[in-house]
Structure 1
């Protein structure tokens, strides 16, 4: 797939992830890359001077998640492709973001339309998987690898991140089985009227 097509598909995936999250009635997605305000809110610096950003960000609503901030990466793929590699990098990004702002992001979401790394599926959110990802990308996470040996990877941060990770697998049909846009608007209007919005 050509670069422009990949970019368009990525933008479409972010838009669709936003619509699905909001249709659950449990999320307000305020930021979608590449909107300028979103890029500023969703961007972080690697220790080696590079930067990265997430595709989406916002706040969860209701119950135990009321007011929790989240960021998300979306992969609108029709197969697993390079998701395994990208997911490992995502874990390192999340570790870095959590280290930089430990009280800001409450949830890190990987939203995809195709399963990946299925032989390791049950471990993808584990502290061990996070530790391996940070070890692989330690030059970016900590700066020079020689200044930050593997034993300086924080077990506490790996465990905290594991608790905050979500992997959401969607399908195009599943996207249709949510509250309609019209009904969502009515529901939100009622919430605002009652002071709950």
Structure 2
């Protein structure tokens, strides 16, 4: 298996593991995973581009706020650039929703098994 394929498979396994972990907390329902329901994990950014998150769902509380989770099952600790890109996408998706009059008060999560080192 090539390095890119190995990383993609680790990403897939990480997304399913995170989905199970999130649901085990009983605080969220995480029915949508990018590999099975990509249309449910996408949000539109300010530039019109659609961005996908790995897992999506909603909180099991009165408001049922939607959440979008990005999963990083990396073997390296150089996640700083990816984390900044993630923050930019979260801001852009939120700003687009507000601009369109659809502020759904999304929640975003960054889930990783490796330390994040910002550089």
TM-score, scaled relative to structure 1: 0.52
Give SS of 2:29's match: strand
Structure holding more helix per residue: 1
Q: What's the offset of the Cα at 1:105?
A: 4.2
TM-score, scaled relative to structure 2: 0.83
> Counterpart in 1 of 2:106?
106
- State which of 89, 93, 97 in structure 2 corresponds to 1:97: 93
Q: RCO (CA 8 Å, sep 6+): is it higher in 1 or 2?
A: 2
Q: 1:78 to 1:22 in 2, by over 3 A?
A: same
Q: Point out where structure 2 has 5 or more consecutive residues left out of the alignment.
A: none
> Counterpart in 2 of 1:21?
22
Tell me the distance in 2 between the aligned counterparts of 1:53 and 1:98.
14
Q: Note the alpha carbon deviations across 1:47-94, whole angstroms, 9 max, x for none.
A: 5454321111101124xx75121100000123313x110000001100
Q: Point out where structure 1 has 5 or more consecutive residues left out of the alignment.
A: 120-197
> Counterpart in 2 of 1:76?
73
Q: 1:20 to 1:93 in 2, by over 3 A?
A: same
Give SS of 1:93's match: helix
Aligned CA RMSD, in angstroms, stands at: 2.1
Higher radius of gyration, 1 or 2: 1
Q: Note the alpha carbon deviations across 1:31-57, whole angstroms, 9 max, x for none.
A: 10121xx31122234454543211111
Give SS of 2:77's match: coil
Does the CA-based 8 Å contact 2:58-2:66 persist in structure 1?
yes
Q: What's the offset of the Cα at 1:5?
A: 1.1
Structure holding more strand per residue: 2
